[in-house]
Amino acid sequence: MGTLAVPRGATWLITPATAPGRFSRARDCGADVALLDLEDSVPQQRKDQARAIALQHLAKAATEAADGEVSPLGLRLNAPGTLPGLRDLVAVAESGVRPAVLLVPKVESPRDVDLVGELLRTDEDEPKVWALIETPLAIQRLHEILASRFLAGVVFGAADYAAAAGCRRTAGGLRYPRAALSAGAAAAALPAIDSPYFDLANDEGLRREAEEACDLGFTGKGAVHPRQLAAIREAFQPSPQELDRARATVRAADSMDAAEGVTHADGSMVGPPLVAAARSLTDQAPGGMT
């Protein structure tokens, strides 16, 4: 279970593990991760069935040659502090299956991450797992959680956070935990994925929330349906105007005297931090500086 490369604007498509008929589409729709879910989308009476289906599919996918470009497969476990979660961990450990992403929900301490990492660790491989941050206590303990050596990245869980905090699931209600999580992840040099947007009928709401995630510094965003993927990617892409300004800034910086330190581009004063940001933007953009 290596470290997954997470591009800016990454999309994670969540699919119930009880719906194997959707698995192929989930892998073929272009999401950066197709995440099979054993937790919230699976009722208690179907936990064992979902676990067996998911592990069988993951094992089969690992032995088959991929036909074209398909999304890496991930797995969201049940919380380690629950009986279904413990059964999930034992089953994954005994199966030898190692999905590209292993997402641990209800993380509230580094021990929640370490428990999974220690159980799945072998002499040849130290797993990297993702933590789902979805309670006020997790936000309070974020610094300790982010220090776990087994951590690959973090995901924000808006619905559970709002329920636990008693706040509305709105931009204003969730601004603090989202900002704290994205900033903390950046300080730890780890990717952060924002919560999915759950209203499939509200395209404008999806676009707005994805743009907020980009503004806050998230690496990407979850999705609950393939039709949401394009809007998420678009929200994380710089506009033509932003690219033009970034390219003008880079050209101005490249032409100035190294001793000056500050230059001007499009009527604005530009210092080293803005130049670095502009270079990053043009490096990631299709066509670079052209």
pLDDT at site 243: 61
Given a cut of 60, whether residue 74 has pLDDT beyond it is: yes
169 is in an annotated binding site: no
CA dist 227 → 29, 31, 202, 231 (Å): 9, 11, 12, 8
**What confidence score (pLDDT) does residue 272 get?**
65
The residue type found at 13 is L
Using CA atoms, how far residue 33 sits from 134, 157, 162, 221, in Å, is 20, 17, 25, 11
Tell me how far apart the alpha carbons of residues 110 and 103 are, in angstroms, rounded to a whole number.
Answer: 14
Mean pLDDT (the chain) is 88
Q: Is residue 161 scored above 90 in pLDDT?
A: yes
What confidence tens digit (pLDDT) does each residue in 241-283 have? 666 666 666 666 666 654 455 555 565 656 666 666 566 566 6
List all residues 6 or more positions away from 143 whose beta carbon is below 8 Å from its beta carbon. 184
Is the pLDDT at 55 greater than 80? The verdict is: yes
Q: Is 288 exposed, middle or buried (0-12, 13-18, 19+ CB in 10 A)?
A: exposed
CB atoms inside a 10 Å sphere around CB 245: 19
Give residue 8's pLDDT band: very low, low, confident or very high (50, 70, 90): confident
Instruction: State the amino acid at position 161 in one-letter form.
Output: Y
Q: Which residues contact 188 (CB under 8 A, 6 or more apart)?
A: 146, 147, 151
Residue-level pLDDT at 282: 65
The answer to the question of whether 257 is labelled as a binding residue is: no
110, amino acid identity: P
For residue 237, the model assigns a pLDDT of 87
Lowest mean pLDDT among 89-93, 232-236, 239-243: 239-243
Is 144 annotated for ligand binding? no
The two beta strands, 268-270 and 263-265, are antiparallel
Is the pLDDT assigned to residue 78 strictly greater than 80? Answer: yes
Q: Is residue 60's pLDDT more than 60?
A: yes
Give the number of other Cβ atoms within 10 Å of residue 126's Cβ: 14
- Tens digit of each residue's pLDDT (9 = 90 or more) over 179-217: 999 999 999 999 999 999 999 999 999 999 999 999 999
pLDDT tier at 6 (50, 70, 90 boundaries)?
Answer: confident
Q: 78 or 262, which is more confident?
A: 78
Query: Which of 5-14, 27-36, 106-115, 135-144 is the least confident region?
Result: 5-14
- pLDDT tens for residues 121-153? 988 888 999 999 999 999 999 999 999 999 999
| Residue 32 contacts residue 223 (beta carbons within 8 Å) | no
Secondary structure in 3-state letters for the chain: CCCCCCCCCEEEEEEECCCHHHHHHHHHCCCCEEEEECCCCCCHHHHHHHHHHHHHHHHHHHHCCCCCCCCCEEEECCCCCCHHHHHHHHHHHHHCCCCCEEEECCCCCHHHHHHHHHHHCCCCCCCCEEEEECCHHHHHCHHHHHCCCCEEEEEECHHHHHHHHCCCCCHHHHHHHHHHHHHHHHHCCCCEEECCCCCCCCHHHHHHHHHHHHHHCCCEEEECCHHHHHHHHHHHCCCHHHHHHHHHHHHHHHHCCCCCCCEEECCEEECHHHHHHHHHHHHHCCCCCC
Q: Which domains does the chain have, with CATH numbers?
A: 10-236 (3.20.20.60), 240-284 (no CATH)
